Structure 1
Amino acid sequence: MNKPLLSRLWKSLSYLGVGTDMTYLEVKRLHMVNLIAITCVPCMLFFGIINFFEERYFLAGINVANSSFCLVVLILQYYRKYEMAKIILLGVSFCFFYFGALFYGNGGENFLLCIMIVCMLLYDSRTIQWFAGVFVIAGIVSVKLYPTEFLMIDHVVRGRVLTNTLGALIFIVIAVYFFKNIIYNNMMLIEEQRKKLQLLNQDKERIFSIVAHDIRTPLSTLDGLVYLLHEQVLDGTVSEEYILQLQRQIAQQKEALDDILYWSSRSMRGASNSITTTSVLDVMSTIGKVYESACQLKSLQLIMEIEPNFQIKVDRDHLMIVARNMLSNAVKFSHSGGSIEVWVSEENAYGFLHVRDHGIGMGKEQADHLFHTIQQRSLGTGKEVGAGLGLLLCHELIQQNNGMVRVSSALGEGSTFSVGFPMVTHA
């Protein structure tokens, strides 16, 4: 019980005065000041007691005063008087260590080096760093050159000098190690931020690519519908049903655009995947409506055989993008008057969505590289233009959702695309 209590007390004191608005470097500098003050309070008090019983009352007074001022430093840190706390810690410690070394020869001049190192770690100003360096060097030289016969009081025992010297050297090693960790952690944070910016930039490029790919085909469909409407206007045979169909197509394509922009905004904010239980039938019914007019223009029969309770674990927005690309390519490369089959299957705890067309197909070499490189722009059977990016983007989304993808194709016979995600098991 005591150990956790002491641990919590140590942590609360070492991070005394830390604010949420402080940078990483500011927190570490404040942490360093607290650690020095916390360490000095008991150490100086201990040596003060020893010096008192050895009748070195002046040195004991120096030790106790140093301990008291370190307590003042902690109080100032608590009230966020950071600059005043640093000045007292460095200035008072310098005076006490200097006069202790000068009058008692206790090796306190070695702690002046510690003060110089701490000053250089706490301040970025070169003027302050040079001033501290010159001041410390002058203090050490004056102690070394001061004639021993003029000392006010006898030297402390040699063991005490050795203890102070070792303590100063250990402190220097710890300070350098502490500063090294600060630099290393800063470099790690910078590297993490660089990677995050790189990912955000990739997401931005991916977003524009998705918009370019997934909006192009519906707009081409709209263009065809408007052309046919224009022909009907010229023939004087415009039907209300045809206008309603055009209106529905525009609304559905707007919905598709909203889905893409929603997913895009989530990616730009760096949001993680929202993997949830998703109904495949619900997703494919929505996408089927988007490409209903495109199928009608090419006289394609869209056949869906999906069980209502067939569910998989996937980010719904990502599945929408993947499924939309699969159906878009099936429509694009199908011959007029053909058919597109969509069905599902279960295999090794994975639920697969299959989309098969009977269009132009592709060779094995092209199929092997389909999901790993940007494809050249290609024309569909109805002269539809593709951006060559859709499947590559789908592959990235599939990987993010712990999925897998397969393709089976032959020239002149059509293609079958299968994408699988973890299956939702029902008790």
Structure 2
Amino acid sequence: MLLTNLQNKTVRIWNYLKGDKSFSLQSRIYNSVCVVTIAVMVYNVPFSLALGLYDSVLATLVLIPLQFYLYYLSRFKGKTALSSVFLILIVNLFFAVSYSLNSGIQGSSLLSFSISYFVIIAIVPRRQYWFWTIVNISLVMGLIIWEYYHPELVSERYPTRADRFIDIASTYIMNIILTFSCLSYIINNYSLERVTAEASAAGLAQLNQQKNKLITIISHDFNAPLNNINSYLYVLSNRDLNLEDKKKYENELKRITFDTQNLLLNLLNWSKSNMEGISYVLEEVNLNDAMNDTLNVYQSIAVEKEIRLAYEISADTDVIANFELVEIIFRNLISNAIKFTPRNGIVRVFSSMSDGFHIISVSDTGPGIPSEKQIDIFTTDISPTFGTARERGAGLGLKICDEFVQYLGGEIWFDTIAGLGTTFSVKLPAA
């Protein structure tokens, strides 16, 4: 348990040092390189002291605070590109000086140029690869040629043969460790980025499929009622109808118009939440105020369908929510309840209190939800739905309800019994 806690704490510290996923992958790799470089420099101080390489110790002590500043510039100021250029220049300068002060080609500095090149390629954009490759090769070849013609300018700093072997061997091991660590980190992160990209692509493909399906439904659902409205208006204006037939046509026009308007509102809300995201202020909302307009509209529709709409929520029922979202949620739930309730049925809207939450329920006496459809009731599986009087919908309403209830910090669920009806319940924080 202690080991697990230590590992978790180490991971949290490392994630903080390199930056979270709000940083680009390149920035996280660069920040990791900075941290590792600082660690290597700190390690180099006592190691060089032990070998008597005092010039190397002095140079490292000067570079450590500079390296800290470059890390700060990238991690906390967001200037990764600027910081990386300075880091590359400083690292190359450091190894070039170290080469001349630490036995040249006979020392360990030449090995360090290979790991510095690997680090450079890991942190720079792809378009700069050739430039820094040429710089690295030119610098190393220049130092070797310079030493070849001026060997007296290169300092021999190893007190014993054993010191040279220890320095070169430890540098090689450090390079292998750094290469392995950096490569593993890069591969793991690219794998994670690929998985994330694939998931995003799958989500976009599904959204595109839903969009195509939605367009098909819209083309029918808007065309059919508009044709019906046009036909009814033609009949009303060109034929002499008795009062009963006229009222029948007017009621049918009212129902079709309202269903079409409700579909349009759902489409707008669904598009807004999926494309723009949801951004609403949460405040104290009185349920009666939020449902008043919806109840007035659906009361007349319920009467025409010979359904009793019973509203049983007290006037002082307040929730922490958003007025517009509450209105949308219960407009859809009440609309669905009336749509799927047969004539002479009852739709009830009532509430109860539980642990600081109001549970608002909308029940109907319809046929219930078939078991094969229950699992997908809140998904974006868009498909047309038909009520008991052939009222048509796009199947978006419940998905919108689910998204908006979650945004409000609540819960939504349903209970259904075949042949007896369905109850949808929404749990929202009480004011």
Query: Does 1:371 pair with 2:374?
Result: no
CA distance in structure 2 between the partners assigned to 1:140 and 1:282 by the alignment: 82
Query: Does 1:419 pair with 2:425?
Result: yes
Q: Which residue of 1 aligns with 2:276?
A: 269
2:362 pairs, out of 340, 347, 355, with 355
Report the CA distance between 1:120 and its aligned residue: 3.5
Query: Does 1:282 pair with 2:289?
Result: yes
The one-letter code of the counterpart of 1:177 is S
Q: Which residue of 2 aligns with 1:333?
A: 340
- Counterparts of 1:196-275 in structure 2, within 5 Å, are 232-233=236-237, 234-235=239-240, 257=264, 261-262=268-269, 264-271=271-278
The one-letter code of the counterpart of 2:287 is V
- Counterparts of 1:372-387 in structure 2, within 5 Å, are 377-387=384-394
CA distance in structure 2 between the partners assigned to 1:395 and 1:274 by the alignment: 18
1:156 pairs, out of 133, 154, 159, with 159
Q: Share of identical aligned residues, percent? A: 17
Q: Which residue of 2 aligns with 1:92?
A: 93
CA distance in structure 1 between the partners assigned to 2:272 and 2:375 by the alignment: 30
Q: Is the 8 A contact 2:214 2:382 kept in 1?
A: no
- Alpha-carbon distance change, 72 to 353 in structure 1, aligned in 2, over 3 angstroms: closer
TM-score (norm 2): 0.63
Report the CA distance between 1:386 and its aligned residue: 3.7
CA distance in structure 2 between the partners assigned to 1:265 and 1:29 by the alignment: 38
Q: Is the 8 A contact 2:259 2:391 kept in 1?
A: no
* Structure of higher CA gyration radius: 1
- Alpha-carbon distance change, 200 to 292 in structure 1, aligned in 2, over 3 angstroms: farther
Report the CA distance between 1:98 and its aligned residue: 3.4
TM-score (norm 1): 0.63
- Alpha-carbon distance change, 286 to 420 in structure 1, aligned in 2, over 3 angstroms: same
Deviates more, 1:176-185 or 1:32-41: 32-41
Aligned positions, number: 396
CA distance in structure 2 between the partners assigned to 1:132 and 1:321 by the alignment: 63
CA distance in structure 2 between the partners assigned to 1:221 and 1:331 by the alignment: 19
CA distance in structure 1 between the partners assigned to 2:29 and 2:60 by the alignment: 23
Deviates more, 1:218-227 or 1:291-300: 218-227
1:283-330 Cα offsets, whole Å, 9 max, x none, are 332322343453354344422121122244556655444433332233
Q: Is the 8 A contact 2:101 2:156 kept in 1?
A: no
Report the CA distance between 1:336 and its aligned residue: 4.1
Q: Is the 8 A contact 1:217 1:328 kept in 2?
A: no
Q: Determine helix, strand or coil for the equivalent of 1:325.
A: helix
The one-letter code of the counterpart of 1:305 is E
Q: Which residue of 2 aligns with 1:188?
A: 192
The one-letter code of the counterpart of 2:174 is I
CA distance in structure 2 between the partners assigned to 1:169 and 1:23 by the alignment: 30
Q: Determine helix, strand or coil for the equivalent of 2:353.
A: strand
The one-letter code of the counterpart of 2:423 is F
- Alpha-carbon distance change, 307 to 193 in structure 1, aligned in 2, over 3 angstroms: farther
Query: Does 1:295 pair with 2:302?
Result: yes
Q: Is the 8 A contact 1:295 1:301 kept in 2?
A: yes
Q: Is the 8 A contact 1:278 1:312 kept in 2?
A: yes
Report the CA distance between 1:25 and its aligned residue: 0.7
Report the CA distance between 1:405 and its aligned residue: 1.9
1:376-406 Cα offsets, whole Å, 9 max, x none, are 7554332223445544665566566542423
The one-letter code of the counterpart of 1:418 is F
Q: Is the 8 A contact 1:335 1:358 kept in 2?
A: yes
Q: Which residue of 1 aligns with 2:414?
A: 406
- Alpha-carbon distance change, 87 to 313 in structure 1, aligned in 2, over 3 angstroms: closer
Query: Does 1:342 pair with 2:345?
Result: no
CA distance in structure 2 between the partners assigned to 1:323 and 1:220 by the alignment: 26
Report the CA distance between 1:424 and its aligned residue: 1.5
- Alpha-carbon distance change, 44 to 352 in structure 1, aligned in 2, over 3 angstroms: closer
Q: Determine helix, strand or coil for the equivalent of 2:392.
A: coil
Structure 2: segments with no counterpart, 5+ residues? 1-13, 74-78
CA distance in structure 1 between the partners assigned to 2:330 and 2:37 by the alignment: 61
Report the CA distance between 1:28 and its aligned residue: 3.6
CA distance in structure 1 between the partners assigned to 2:384 and 2:121 by the alignment: 60
CA distance in structure 2 between the partners assigned to 1:262 and 1:392 by the alignment: 11
CA distance in structure 1 between the partners assigned to 2:222 and 2:297 by the alignment: 8
The one-letter code of the counterpart of 2:341 is S
Q: Is the 8 A contact 1:371 1:395 kept in 2?
A: no
Q: Is the 8 A contact 1:106 1:160 kept in 2?
A: no
- Counterparts of 1:104-115 in structure 2, within 5 Å, are 105-115=106-116
Report the CA distance between 1:92 and its aligned residue: 2.7
Structure 1: segments with no counterpart, 5+ residues? 1-10, 54-59
CA distance in structure 1 between the partners assigned to 2:307 and 2:324 by the alignment: 26
CA distance in structure 1 between the partners assigned to 2:140 and 2:92 by the alignment: 15
